Amino acid sequence: MMQLLYLDPGSGSYLVQVIIAAVLGVIFYFKSGWNWIKSFFVKTPPKKEEEENESAD
């Protein structure tokens, strides 16, 4: 029964990598979602014509 629980070093490091990637993926997902929700409710002021002309040059 204990033989089924054996992890060699390669499998252990892969498992750590998968856990780290999952945590970072969840953080990125919720951060992106929060920014989308926040941008939906917070209006940005419209750009002035002078700023648009300067950026076009």
Domain ranges for the chain: 16-42
35 pLDDT tier (thresholds 50, 70, 90): confident
Q: Residues near 15 by Cβ (< 8 Å), separated by ≥ 6?
A: 7
Q: What is the tens place of the pLDDT at every residue in 43-52?
A: 766 666 665 5
Write phi, then psi, for 43 (nearest 5 degrees): -90, 135
| Residue-level pLDDT at 7 | 72
Q: Count Cα neighbours of 50 within 13 Å in the Cβ-side half-sphere.
A: 0
Average pLDDT, the chain: 78
Report pTM.
0.53
Q: CA-to-CA distance for 42 and 55, rounded, in angstroms?
A: 24
